Amino acid sequence: MNTLFEREHEYFFHTYKRLPLDVDRGEGVYLFTKDGKRYIDFFGGLAVNALGHAHPKVLQAINEQAKRYIHLSNYYVQESQVELAERLITTSGFKRIFLSNSGTEAVEGAIKLARKWGAPQGKRELLGLTNSFHGRTMGALSLTERQKYREGYEPFLQYTSHIPFNDVDALRRTVGPHTLGVILEFIQGEGGIFVVSDAFAKELVSLREKFGFLIIADEIQAGIGRTGRFFGYEHFGVLPDIIVVAKAIGGGLPLGGFLGNERVADVLSYGAHGTTFGGNPVACAAGVVVFDEIVKGGLMQHAARIGEYLKGEGEVLRKEFPAVIKEVRGHGCMLGIDLHSDAQPVVDALQERGILANCTNSTVIRLLPPLTIQRSHVDELMTNLRAIIAK
């Protein structure tokens, strides 16, 4: 009989370069393969597993909700949806929310919301930033600038373009009366954990006051407490008009959403947008647990503290090996260690030593651990990273 990897290769489109690990189970911050090996998971399901693996309260919430009902459709008011929405609205201070299945769907919804808001005013130009990533569907891809994701999918949405990342002069030159909105990751994830400058953020707010466009914050990866604050934009003194969320909010189940402030709160009417599966009640029940553990259970504060320790230890390593490590960037449990050369061999070597991390943008070791990570796990990462680099 063919192996699992051979069967996967036969049946699936070859869109994923799978890791050579046959995972049996996850427990806390660890993954275990079928051959009995244990790995510390600094990969974190790409920022999804904020509470780690098999969190007992998440499992309990999923089980209890599944026993009641798994799906009704959005013709029905559903308790777990409302409970989660209430928490997100109260914490964010926004006015309305729409729940989707994923981040890219949430971006598509945010585009629709923005366009419907801007149409009566003649505003139609949506701007993204270079080095950005907002998703794989056509609207999100139109606002994503990285060419490796765009090649061959042209043409993209009309009236979309990109501003060079952190280029304040280009921002001033590009926006104007016809600008509908600017979408940005305040901490770019897939792009390599690049952080928006204070000068760029300040100018963006100033230009919004002048021209009246919308600021759309893509918090899919940075949001829900990962950076030590509930949303990544909170580090920059900016209050957006629309927020896009996903990844961690579903506790490992598919869930996303977009939130709007009072400027856009009354734009969407009955039937103007919708989804069959979005806001699934089981995912929302898991999301309520995630929210409560992060906000009420102190994990957000822990993410700030352990992230500061992780970044500090990374800086120690950078000073020790300046010819290898260029920069350590990010906030909380969303950090990138940028090398002067290809990071994949280092990530592969970490994997051989029982530590899972991610290589992004060629030279960056991306760290997105569960927010439950402890100093002992950071120390083990750094001990192994030091040994690999020193070779």
User: Per residue in 127-148, pLDDT tens?
Assistant: 999 999 999 999 999 999 999 9
Tell me which residue has tokens 């900016």: 238
Q: What is the mean pLDDT of residues 284-305?
A: 98
Question: What tens digit of pLDDT does each residue of 180-189 get?
Answer: 999 999 999 9
User: What pLDDT is recorded for position 391?
Assistant: 83
User: What pLDDT is recorded for position 80?
Assistant: 98
User: What pLDDT is recorded for position 195?
Assistant: 98
For the chain, what percent of residues have pLDDT higher than 90? 99
- Indicate whether 292 pLDDT > 90: yes
Average per-residue pLDDT for the chain: 97
User: What pLDDT is recorded for position 1?
Assistant: 63
- Rounded distance, CA 163 to CA 213, Å? 15
Contact 58, 290 (CB under 8 A): yes
Give the number of other Cβ atoms within 10 Å of residue 27's Cβ.
13
- Rounded distance, CA 186 to CA 221, Å? 10
For the chain, what percent of residues have pLDDT higher than 70? 100
Contact 240, 230 (CB under 8 A): no
Q: What is the mean pLDDT of residues 336-362?
A: 98
- Rounded distance, CA 46 to CA 355, Å? 15
Cis preceding linkage at 155, omega within 30: yes
Contact 188, 121 (CB under 8 A): no
Amino acid at 114: A
* Token pair in block for residue 240: 């957006």
Stretch (H or E) spanning 272:
none
Q: What is the mean pLDDT of residues 96-111?
A: 98
The partner residues of 115 in beta bridges, in order of sequence, read none
Question: What tens digit of pLDDT does each residue of 224-256 get?
Answer: 999 999 999 999 999 999 999 999 999 999 999
Q: What is the mean pLDDT of residues 149-156?
A: 96
